Chains A and B, each alone.
Chain A
Amino acid sequence: MRTITLREGADLDGFRRAVRRLAATRTAPEAVLWSVGAPSLFGDEGPALEDGAPVLLPQAVGQLIETVVCHGDPERYALLYRLVWRVLNGERALLDQHADPLVHRLERLDKAVRRDIHKMHAFLRFRALPDPDGGERYVAWFEPDHHIVEAVAAFFVDRFESMVWTILTPKGSLHWDRHRLMTGPPAERPDSLTDDRFAEGWLRYYESTFNPARVNPTAMRAEMPRKYWANMPETAAIPAMVRAAPARVQAMLEAEAAIPRRRMPEKAVAAMARQAPESLAELNRLIQRSEPLVPGATQAVPGEGPEGAAIAIVGEQPGDQEDREGRPFVGPAGQLLTAALEEAGIDRGGVYLTNAVKHFKFVQRGKRRIHQSPTAGEVKHYRWWLMTELGFVRPRLVVALGATAALALTGRPVSVLRERGPMVFDGWNGDGWDGFVTVHPSYLLRLPEEEERRRAQAEFVADLRRAATLA
Chain B
Amino acid sequence: MDDALIEKLGILADAAKYDASCASSGAKPRSGGKEGLGSTTGAGICHAYTPDGRCVSLLKILLTNHCLFDCVYCINRRSSNVRRARFTVAEVVDLTLGFYKRNCIEGLFLSSGIIRSPDHTMEQMMLVARTLRRDHGFAGYIHLKTIPEASPWLIEQAGLWADRLSINLELPTDHSLKAFAPEKNGGTIKAVMGQVNERIVEAKEERRRFSPAGQSTQLIVGADDATDRSVLETSGTLYQRYGLRRVYYSAFSPIPEASSVLPVKPPPLQRENRLYQADWLLRYYGFTVEEIASGGEGGMLDLGIDPKLAWALKNRERFPVDVNRADREMLLRVPGLGARAVDKILSARRHTRLRMEDLGRLSNGLRRARPFLIAANYHPVGGLTDRLDLRQRLVTPSSQLSLF
Which label, helix, strand, loop or mixed, suits the secondary structure of the A interface? helix
Q: Are B254 and A252 in contact (CB under 8 A)?
A: yes
Q: Are A209 and B33 in contact (CB under 8 A)?
A: no
Q: Are A252 and B258 in contact (CB under 8 A)?
A: yes
Q: Are A271 and B116 in contact (CB under 8 A)?
A: yes
- B29 → chain A, closest Cβ, in Å? 9
User: A258-B81, A258-B257 in contact; A234/B48 too (CB < 8 A)?
Assistant: yes
Specify the chain A residue showing the minimal Cβ separation from B252.
Answer: A213
Q: Which residues of B contact A365 (CB under 8 A)?
A: none
Instruction: Kindly state whether residue A223 has any CB partner on chain B within 8 Å.
Output: yes
What 1/0 mask marks residues of chain B from 344 to 377 whose CB sits below 8 Å from any chain A CB?
Answer: 1001101110100111011000000000000000
User: A377-B199, A384-B153 in contact; A208/B104 too (CB < 8 A)?
Assistant: no
Q: Which residues of B contact A234 (CB under 8 A)?
A: 48
Q: Are B348 and A213 in contact (CB under 8 A)?
A: no
Q: Which of B165-213 contact A (CB under 8 A)?
A: 182-183, 198-199, 202-203, 205-206, 208
Question: How far is B352's CA from A101's CA once the two chains are assembled, in angstroms?
Answer: 13
What 1/0 mask marks residues of chain B from 48 to 81 whose CB sits below 8 Å from any chain A CB?
Answer: 1111111110011100000011100000001111
- CB < 8 Å: which of B10, B52, B203 contacts A204? B10
Q: Are B49 and A223 in contact (CB under 8 A)?
A: yes
- B221 → chain A, closest Cβ, in Å? 13
Q: Are A262 and B79 in contact (CB under 8 A)?
A: yes
Question: Chain B: interface residue count, which band?
Answer: 35 or more
Question: How far is B203's CA from A293's CA once the two chains are assembled, in angstroms?
Answer: 11
User: A197-B2, A246-B403, A377-B202 in contact; A97/B348 too (CB < 8 A)?
Assistant: yes
What 1/0 mask marks residues of chain B from 95 to 107 whose CB sits below 8 Å from any chain A CB?
Answer: 1001101111000
Q: Which residues of A contact B357 (CB under 8 A)?
A: 99
What 1/0 mask marks residues of chain A from 265 to 305 whose CB sits below 8 Å from any chain B CB?
Answer: 10111011011100000000010001101100000000000
Q: Are A198 and B1 in contact (CB under 8 A)?
A: yes
Q: Which residues of A contact B183 (CB under 8 A)?
A: 265, 268-269, 272
Q: Are B50 and A209 in contact (CB under 8 A)?
A: yes
Q: Which of A223-257 contact B (CB under 8 A)?
A: 223-224, 232, 234-235, 238-239, 241-243, 245-246, 249, 251-253, 255, 257
Q: Are A375 and B206 in contact (CB under 8 A)?
A: yes
- A204 → chain B, closest Cβ, in Å? 5
Q: Are B50 and A206 in contact (CB under 8 A)?
A: yes
Q: Are A178 and B34 in contact (CB under 8 A)?
A: yes
User: A198-B102, A200-B1 in contact; A220/B50 too (CB < 8 A)?
Assistant: yes
User: A265-B182, A271-B116 in contact; A159/B202 too (CB < 8 A)?
Assistant: no
Q: Which residues of B contact A158 (CB under 8 A)?
A: 31, 39
The stretch among B117-125, B226-234, B279-287, B380-388 that forms the contact with chain A is B117-125
Question: How far is B201's CA from A375's CA once the two chains are assembled, in angstroms?
Answer: 13
Q: Which residues of B contact A196 (CB under 8 A)?
A: 1
Instruction: Kindly state whether residue B46 has any CB partner on chain A within 8 Å.
Output: yes
Q: Are B259 and A257 in contact (CB under 8 A)?
A: yes
Q: Are A275 and B160 in contact (CB under 8 A)?
A: no
- CB < 8 Å: which of B1, B33, B51 contacts A245? B51
Q: Which residues of B contact A159 (CB under 8 A)?
A: 31, 38-39, 103
- CB < 8 Å: which of B10, B79, B160 contacts A207? B10
Q: Are A126 and B402 in contact (CB under 8 A)?
A: no
Q: Which residues of B contact A205 (CB under 8 A)?
A: 9-10, 13, 59, 61, 99
User: A161-B33, A258-B257 in contact; A201/B6 too (CB < 8 A)?
Assistant: yes
What 1/0 mask marks residues of chain B from 18 to 61 whose CB sits below 8 Å from any chain A CB?
Answer: 10000000000001111111110100011111111111100111
The interface on chain A, measured as residues whose beta carbon lies within 8 A of the other chain's beta carbons, has a size of: 97
Instruction: Kindly state whether residue A344 has any CB partner on chain B within 8 Å.
Output: no
Q: Which of A114-146 contact B (CB under 8 A)?
A: 118, 121-128, 138, 140
What 1/0 mask marks residues of chain A from 367 to 388 whose CB sits below 8 Å from any chain B CB?
Answer: 0000000011110110011000
Question: How far is B48's CA from A125's CA once the two chains are assembled, in angstroms?
Answer: 11
Specify the chain A residue showing the minimal Cβ separation from B161.
Answer: A291
Instruction: Name the residue in B10, B48, B55, B402 with the highest tally of chain A Cβ atoms < 10 Å from its Cβ.
Output: B48
Q: Which residues of A contact B2 (CB under 8 A)?
A: 197
Instruction: Kindly state whether residue A199 has any CB partner on chain B within 8 Å.
Output: yes
Q: Which residues of A contact B36 (CB under 8 A)?
A: 162
What 1/0 mask marks residues of chain A from 15 to 33 whose CB sits below 8 Å from any chain B CB?
Answer: 0000000000000000000
Q: Which residues of B contact A232 (CB under 8 A)?
A: 48
Q: Which residues of B contact A245 (CB under 8 A)?
A: 51, 403
Q: Which of B2-20 contact A (CB under 8 A)?
A: 2, 5-6, 9-11, 13-14, 16-18
Instruction: Kindly state whether residue B326 has any CB partner on chain A within 8 Å.
Output: no
- CB < 8 Å: which of A214, A235, A243, A262 contacts B269? A214
Question: How far is B55's CA from A56's CA once the two chains are assembled, in angstroms?
Answer: 42
- B51 → chain A, closest Cβ, in Å? 5
Instruction: Name the residue in A121, A222, A258 with the highest tally of chain B Cβ atoms < 10 Å from its Cβ.
Output: A258
Q: Which residues of A contact B102 (CB under 8 A)?
A: 125-128, 138, 198-199, 202
User: A201-B98, A214-B53, A245-B51 in contact; A239/B10 too (CB < 8 A)?
Assistant: no
Q: Are A96 and B347 in contact (CB under 8 A)?
A: yes
Q: Are B361 and A99 in contact (CB under 8 A)?
A: yes
- B82 → chain A, closest Cβ, in Å? 9
Q: Which residues of B contact A101 (CB under 8 A)?
A: 361
Q: Are B404 and A239 in contact (CB under 8 A)?
A: yes
List 14 A-B pairs, Cβ < 8 Å: A99-B354, A122-B46, A138-B101, A140-B103, A155-B41, A162-B35, A163-B37, A201-B98, A216-B52, A239-B404, A252-B256, A257-B259, A257-B260, A286-B153
**12 further contact pairs, Cβ within 8 A, besides A211-B18, A216-B51, A252-B256:** A201-B1, A209-B60, A213-B254, A214-B269, A220-B49, A253-B264, A260-B81, A265-B70, A276-B119, A276-B151, A377-B205, A378-B206
Query: B-contacting residues of A (Cβ < 8 Å)?
Result: 93, 96-99, 101, 104, 118, 121-128, 138, 140, 155, 158-163, 178, 196-202, 204-220, 222-224, 232, 234-235, 238-239, 241-243, 245-246, 249, 251-253, 255, 257-258, 260-265, 267-269, 271-272, 274-276, 286, 290-291, 293-294, 375-378, 380-381, 384-385
Query: A-contacting residues of B (Cβ < 8 Å)?
Result: 1-2, 5-6, 9-11, 13-14, 16-18, 31-39, 41, 45-56, 59-61, 68-70, 78-81, 95, 98-99, 101-104, 114, 116-120, 130, 134, 137, 149-153, 156-157, 160, 182-183, 198-199, 202-203, 205-206, 208, 253-260, 262, 264-266, 269, 344, 347-348, 350-352, 354, 357-359, 361-362, 399, 401-404
